[in-house]
Structure 1
Amino acid sequence: MKTLLAVALAFSATAYAQNKPMTQTYNVDSAATKIVYVGKKVTGQHTGNVTAKSGNLTFLGEQITGGEVVVDMNSLTSTDITDKDTNAKYLGHMKSADFFDTAKYPEAKLVIKNSKKTDKGLEVTGDLTMIGKTNPITFLVTDLKKTDAGVTGKSNVTINRTKWGLVYGSGSFIKGLGDKAINDEFTLAIDLSAKK
């Protein structure tokens, strides 16, 4: 009788383990991941790209439970300024101490804490570090597709730059800017790809 009970318990434990979601880790595919930024001002906007240098995502079932994404801030480009000299001047200013100070802070990093399912997608919470400061951030991941081989997903992230001390051209901190004012918020359209 004891033997039958032991077998039954072992069988139940095995069945439970098989039904329990497995933890899976994927590495960010830098070549296949695309990050597009949009920064707006009174007189228009600027667009460009930045590169995900490295990273990983940990899943438990269909939910992200951890991971990080490291962005190479020196990879910043401009896609809307066609004049070569103006483009170079703009990028030099963006990389200067007025903005992202890439000589001192060459990387930005998102550390993912957790996520939860919503009717609009996967709501992800993490800590974003850039320009030497860290703040919590929450964003939505949509079109998430996960297989044993890889993961893809999209996200539109809105960042209030002033929370990281980036106040250059901000009408919230500097008065009388007129049409030289730059929006406090910029957006990132992320098309993420990661693989085993």
Structure 2
Amino acid sequence: MKTKVLSIGLVAIIMAAAFTILRKEVKVDTNSSQIAWVGEKVTGQHNGTVNIKEGALEVENGQVTGGSFVIDMNSIDVLDLEGEYKDKLMGHLRSDDFFSVESHPTAKFVITSIEKSEATDATHFLAGDLTIKGITNKITFPANITVEDGKATAKASFALDRTKWEIRYGSGSFFDGLGDKMIYDDFKLSVNLSSL
């Protein structure tokens, strides 16, 4: 009788273990993760980077199911200019004309859903809440996400309409007569995340 009870108990434990959801949170490697940006205007474009301050991805049964990360807006860098012109543009991007970095030193993205994609150029579609300058908007974009040997990576390239976060400087949607001083509303981001 004892043997039978032990056998049933052992089977129950094995069955419970088989159906246990393996859930963990993996921290984003802020040294190897980065966001690249491109802003375009009538007469050309500028590009640069901004650093990820901290973040984590939620992994469940070998799949990324959620996560969030904080962006250090003080780290905005311009890569296509040097010297005085670079410093001037970086100062302008950090000013109230653009990202108001003094009063909003960080931005944040929180993943609200992840769905598998049938597209050939993306493994998933992500939806989430992006907060810039204290304003939150929902965004969706395709991404390539992998989990191998417990390490998660996510790569995505997409465009955002800056005016949704009240960044209207030089926007032809809000100001007339800008001519070749007009800056396009959309700016492009390339996100490259990897976990520790």
TM-score (norm 2): 0.89
| Structure 1 partner of 2:98 | 99
Partner of 2:128: 126
Q: Secondary structure at the match of 1:46?
A: strand
Distance 2:170 2:51 in 1: 25
Seen in structure 2, the aligned counterparts of structure 1 residues 18 and 88 have a Cα distance that, compared at 3 Å, is: same
Provide the residue aligned with 2:184 in structure 1: 183
Q: Secondary structure at the match of 1:93?
A: helix
2:105 corresponds to 1:77: no
SS at match of 2:78: coil
SS in 1 for 2:195: strand
> CA separation in 2, counterparts of 1:68 and 1:176?
40
| Structure 1 segments unaligned to the other structure (5+ residues) | none
Deviation at 1:168, TM superposition (A): 0.8
Asked whether the equivalents of residues 35 and 188 of structure 1 are also in contact (C-alpha less than 8 Å), the reply is yes
- How far apart are residue 125 of structure 1 and its match? 1.2
Q: Which residue of 2 aligns with 1:89?
A: 88
Q: How far apart in 2 are the matches of 1:179 and 1:131?
A: 27
Go from structure 1 to structure 2 and tell me whether the alpha carbon gap of 1:39 and 1:24 turns closer, same or farther (over 3 Å shift): same
Deviates more, 1:118-127 or 1:71-80: 118-127
**Partners of 2:64 and 2:145 within 8 A in 1:** no
Q: Compared with structure 1, are the counterparts of its residues 183 and 143 closer, same or farther at alpha carbon in structure 2 (3 Å cutoff)?
A: same
Q: Provide TM-score, normalisation by structure 1.
A: 0.89
Contact 2:52 2:71 in 1 (8 A): yes
User: SS of 1:49's equivalent?
Assistant: strand
Once the two structures are superposed, what CA deviation does each residue of 1:6-35 show, in whole Å capped at 9, x if it has no partner? 955862563353255411211011001121
Give structure 2 stretches of 5+ with no counterpart.
none
Poorly superposed stretches of 4+, deviation over 6 Å? none
